[in-house]
Chains A and B, each alone.
Chain A
């Protein structure tokens, strides 16, 4: 630091700028003298410290400086107002004025607070959702942005499928751009679990490769993770790592759990480690695993002997793994992707499709299909709340404008007292930012309350609750300040201009109309029309999805899934178990019917290709017929509410060893035997598998909502044994009420039974329609909010105009104008604004249609009825809002009105 005399240049520079001009010389002189004396007495560090204290004290003095003359301050302030200290002081004064003003006009302050609070609350809630969904890296994972996920793709750019174990081994041993490639899969695996003390329970397990934790960078809290040999050969090393919460719940956080044997599906597993508390898997979605098990144990645990879960078996494929790899040091995502794609291109085996490859994703948290859905939903929500926020800001600006007109007196007095235009603008801005911050507080409070509720609307359940974090709060504050400052600028500039006009001597027009305010109201109308039109579309879309004819009955159906094979049942044991279970469940109070089914709608397919018999119509390009399959028990059709068209359903006579029989749906019957009676015909899948058709049932929905009629063939579970079954239980009351009793009843037959999935058919359907519901509910809510704000602004403006024109109206009524005519004029004025807004909004809605199309179910994004309905709604509400002040206008007493002036 250059030193001129005893004072550092910086201190001199700063003080020269902040000191009052007439005190600069003597104060700096005094300080220099003092400092020179100190440097003579003290060591330089102590002297330096004293100097900084002096400087600070001078700043303080300067900030409070009020001069020495007793008289009022001279309007010398224009010059001094540029100094930062003066600005701070002015700002504090502005804030004080603002708070005082808010106290004096509570109605205005509360309205502004409500408007901003709702706008910011909506934005913060959506921000909280988006932040939680996309910007929360999995806890306990080291450098998650250096991880890549690998999926199977069936065509370039499309994919998200699982990968086979042999392929994983191939990639793992050949990839060199990665520092480790791990695999996980079988996420919905549920095992019966016992610690050997007699009490059994069930646990969720995730199968992982031995290097899974290493690749993620997770350390064990206790014990160790898996070793390479524990994953080398199928079924030989039963080991398990416990989730921290599960360890606390099931073992009371016993540190001696390491080395203990626990039973999973009846197979003893050694507990080798406990994961750290923060780590609960990669996925943020609900139901994190309780245990991690080596992928080599999958065959033993699910009794999947002979299935292609480990080796590549000709003609029989099983892909079940997702891969996750960590970039090697110095490697970029692009290099890793290139490396993996090259490996995939080099991989060939007979079953591999020509277009098959891999999809390398940087999204660690979600599968591509989930990510796509969440992304488009989030984009839409962000767009919607942006519109809501703009409306709130415009609304706030209108409020401020209206208030500014009632404050012209105050402003002119302040101008007369010497306040500059900039000073006034700043005061108005400070006031609006103050309100903005208050609104921010209210909005954040709303977000705390509603985030979790909004999250339950999402198409996926999440493991942890939603609440705004610091990042969201920071954005909310910035948003509030920016919005309120932008809104505050409008009346501030307006007021400043009005003052000039006043000085020059012009009077403003009698009507009190303001182009800016009208434009703000029209803008709000237009934007809210866009949202309301969107809300109507989404509501229709959800309604269409919800009322979609399913072809089966969803209400009051409980579903309990049991995988007998993984529970260690042989086929004979399983065949014996099923009828007993059906009898017991059927005898429960409140149960009307029970059946089993291999397939549950919307939960994937089981299918086969069929060479069509002569005369049949193929439904595939290669001339074959694709047939969806299901194995069901005798009462299935009645229990599911699938109507019988002809023939008979399965009955107790369709047993093992008897003639194999089948029930087909109308679509399959039509394709196989167009125009003929299918009963008694036979369907054959090759030499040894032939079924005689005994019945035809109605088409239903099997895979996706609103699908085209799809083939379906049912076989009897008695004839075609299926170890994994869903019990479908038709109940008299709400199905969920029966869930505990149904599970208890099944456990009477087998105390160690684990239930893979317990749900209701209603929930299955709700899950499918959830993506339409979330748009409908949130956009409906936000659209309603937007409409409310816009209409409130319209009401305010029309009321204001009426109040302003009271005298005018009085005079005209005294001159003979009818009440109807006066009211009509006011109403027309309001409706003109609304109609202009609606027209602009229609244009906007049409322009945005591409954006909404992907989120709609069987509804056109430019659906004219939705636009008409939205416009009608807007105009009706606007008319109602304008009607109140219009009626008030007719009540004007001419004599009173003229006298008040």
Chain B
């Protein structure tokens, strides 16, 4: 996926989805993100990021079976696609390159 850069928030959301694995649905992503990033995030913001990522084919989503736990409401599950994985890795490697460069230049 050349040219498709990840936004910061998008990246965090994708990382959470990846980390959650099988159980990645909206409120779980939200809980994980709030926990990990230590800031309040709304579902609306997460959905917007997920929609965008899905439009870029970075994630997939599908509707699960209705469960009694949520008042008979189905969950929408998300999973990172291979393209998404590639984008996350690309993003990570850019960061690491920059970090290393910064480290070498800083220590003479």
Contacts and interface: CB of A to CB of B under 8 A. Distances in A.
Physical interaction between A and B: yes
19 contacts: A4-B71, A5-B71, A25-B74, A26-B25, A26-B73, A26-B75, A27-B76, A29-B73, A30-B30, A30-B43, A30-B76, A34-B27, A37-B27, A50-B40, A54-B42, A54-B44, A57-B42, A58-B42, A60-B44
Interface string A57-71: 111111011111110
Nearest to A31: B43
B66 interface: yes
Contacts of A68: 51, 54-55, 61
B1 interface: no
Contacts of A28: 73
Interface of A: 4-5, 23, 25-34, 37, 50, 53-54, 56-62, 64-70
Q: Which of A61, A65, A70 has the most CB of B within 10 A?
A: A61
A23 B44 contact: no
Contacts of B45: 57, 61
A777 B72 CA distance: 76
Contact of B47 (A5, A27, A29): A27
Nearest to B73: A29
Contacts of A58: 42-44, 47
Contacts of A70: 55, 57
B27 A33 contact: yes
Contacts of B30: 30, 34
B31 interface: yes
B42 A27 contact: no
A64 B51 CA distance: 11
B43 A34 contact: yes
A68 B48 CA distance: 10
B54 A54 contact: no
Contact of B25 (A30, A64, A65, A66): A30
B51 A29 contact: no
A15 to B, nearest CB: 11
A80 to B, nearest CB: 16
A61 B44 CA distance: 5
A61 B48 contact: yes
Given A28-B73, A29-B71, 8 more contacts: A25-B63, A25-B66, A26-B25, A34-B31, A34-B43, A53-B42, A57-B43, A61-B47
Given A32-B70, A33-B70, A37-B31, A27 B43 contact: yes
B36 to A, nearest CB: 15
Q: Which of A5, A26, A64, A65 has the most CB of B within 10 A?
A: A26
* 3 pairs of A and B residues whose beta carbons are closest in the complex: A57-B44, A29-B73, A30-B26
A29 B43 contact: no
Interface in B52-66: 54-55, 57, 61, 63, 66
A31 to B, nearest CB: 6
Nearest to A70: B55
Given A58-B43, A66-B51, A30 B61 contact: no
Q: Which of A30, A31, A54 has the most CB of B within 10 A?
A: A30
Nearest to A24: B73
Contacts, number: 80
Contact of B51 (A37, A60, A65): A65
A25 B42 contact: no
A57 B30 CA distance: 13
A-side interface mostly: helix
Contacts of B73: 25-26, 28-29, 32
A69 B61 CA distance: 12
A28 to B, nearest CB: 6
Contacts of B47: 27, 58, 61
Nearest to A34: B27
Interface in B90-106: none
Contacts of B74: 25-26, 29
A58 to B, nearest CB: 4
B42 A69 contact: no
Nearest to A69: B55
Interface in B12-57: 25-27, 30-31, 40, 42-45, 47-48, 51, 54-55, 57
A588 B59 CA distance: 102
B80 to A, nearest CB: 15
A89 to B, nearest CB: 15
Q: Which of A31, A33, A59, A70 has the most CB of B within 10 A?
A: A33
A56 B42 CA distance: 9
Q: Which of A25, A50, A54, A62 has the most CB of B within 10 A?
A: A25
Contacts of B70: 29, 32-33
Contacts of A32: 70-71, 73
A27 B54 CA distance: 16
Nearest to B54: A68
A43 to B, nearest CB: 16
A65 B47 CA distance: 9
Contacts of A4: 71
Q: Which of A28, A34, A65, A67 has the most CB of B within 10 A?
A: A34
A375 B42 CA distance: 61
Contact of B48 (A27, A30, A31, A64): A64
A602 B3 CA distance: 90
A644 to B, nearest CB: 97
Nearest to B69: A33
A60 B43 CA distance: 11
A34 to B, nearest CB: 4
Q: Which of B70, B75, B76 has the most CB of A within 10 A?
A: B70
A31 B27 CA distance: 7
B38 to A, nearest CB: 14
A53 B63 CA distance: 25
Contacts of A64: 48
Contacts of B43: 27, 30-31, 34, 54, 57-58
Contacts of A61: 44-45, 47-48
Nearest to B25: A30
A23 B76 contact: yes
Q: Which of B40, B48, B63, B75 has the most CB of A within 10 A?
A: B48
Q: Which of B30, B42, B44, B71 has the most CB of A within 10 A?
A: B44
Contacts of B40: 50
A32 B93 CA distance: 38
B87 to A, nearest CB: 16
